[in-house]
Amino acid sequence: MTVITNKNDVTAIRPELEEADSQGLTDFLNLSLSDMRAWFENHGERTFRADQVFQWIHRKRVLSFEGMTNLSKDLRQKLNESAILRAPQIETVQESADGTRKYQLRTYDDFMIECVFIPNASAAGRNTLCISSQVGCAMGCRFCATAAIKLKRNLGAGEIVAQLYTVLNDLEQNGYELDKTKPHAQHVIANLVYMGMGEPLHNVDNVIRSIRLIGADDGLNYAARRITVSTSGLVKNMLRLGEETDAQLAVSLNATTDDTRSEIMPVNRKWQIKDLLDACRSFPLKAGRRVTFEYVMLAGINDSDEDARRLIRLMKGLKSKINLIPFNPHPLSPYERPSAERVAVFQRLVADAGFSVFVRTTRGDDIDAACGMLGGEKLEGAREQELVNISLSDAS
């Protein structure tokens, strides 16, 4: 494991154009191109300058006004006095033995968030970036380290997109070849997944806004089919995501009975499995697309043959792909990982029924970057306490 330390800013965003903080500074990372043009017009500037600034931020990934070299010195000074770019800053980068890179980013108000770059995730050369949508999480899923942090606040749309830009910039500095003349980044990050810290649909306004910024014609023009948004089951916002974006949907199912799902995922107490699957059937899918169902396998909890048979019945009639995720143990959760043999039997039962079912390869678990392990300082503290307990036990 390689660790790089100190390599190198919000409440939920309001819908008004002047999204300003207490000093009256507008965060340009949050603005659409049309809003940015209106800002420049309102401040006595020609609107083509907005196009230039938008491209600097969202295409060239320049996250300071001083770096926008085709703007006059006077305009850059004006922007520095009346606007801001609140991109989270890299605090540490950890690199796993398998090449996975976990980024701890510090927000403007001193919170820590994490995102993970997974090289060759689905195939050779097809890299994935997993990004966060909230500081902490309110969902309380008992297998997830982020749940222990509790929800601190939503990330703004700009803070979400800045994770992508910051990682791309870091990768470029570390030998990945990026062509800044091209308006996209799919050749470096093939898939962008909202599966980091937080429940994306609990911050649906900013998530939708971030998807539009990433996909803007004057930005990276990132194809929506390469973006996947995962949800624990916030049924009320699933349809909205499908109607307002072309992003792919992933649903964290993780159980085949309401009793078990309610135990490990409190959201099920409000929207039970039938409600969730009905929402999946109503989700607008383009031709050839499917809903991905994620199923974290917990030893002795949801991994039995009967669970597999129930899963088959639940998936009937759904355009689905199923990802089995053997639990990644950590000290903030009481569960254990099932054996490889148990996972294989479960997969075979579901596959023999005609479903597309895959076992997700664990990546980055040696740096707490695997699925369900993004717990930041909370998880690090638990790890340290675990070592202390082992030392005390050995000494006694």
Which has the minimum average pLDDT: 59-68, 105-114, 372-381? 372-381
Active site residue 141: no
Q: Say which of 95, 114, 199, 294 is annotated catalytic.
A: 114
Q: What is the pLDDT of residues 262-282, one digit of tens each?
A: 999 999 999 999 999 999 999
Residues found in the chain: 396
Interval 162-205: pLDDT, tens: 999 999 999 988 887 665 555 455 668 989 999 999 999 999 99
Assign domain 89-387 to its CATH superfamily.
Answer: Aldolase class I (3.20.20.70)
Delimiting residues of CATH 1.10.150.530 domain(s) in the chain: 9-84
Please report which residue ranges of the chain form alpha helices under DSSP H.
33-42, 48-58, 73-82, 157-173, 204-214, 235-244, 258-264, 273-282, 305-315, 340-352, 376-395
| Residue ranges of the chain that CATH labels 3.20.20.70 | 89-387
pLDDT digits (tens, 9 = 90+) for 204-262: 999 999 999 999 999 999 998 899 999 999 999 999 999 999 999 999 999 999 999 99
CA–chain centroid gap for 288, Å, is 24
Tokens 């006004």 — which residue?
65
Half-sphere exposure of 327 (CA within 13 A, CB side): 26
CATH number for the domain formed by residue range(s) 9-84 = 1.10.150.530
Return the bridge partners of 191, or none: 128
pTM score, whole prediction: 0.88
More confident residue, 284 or 379: 284
Is 341 an annotated catalytic residue? no
**Averaged pLDDT of the chain:** 88
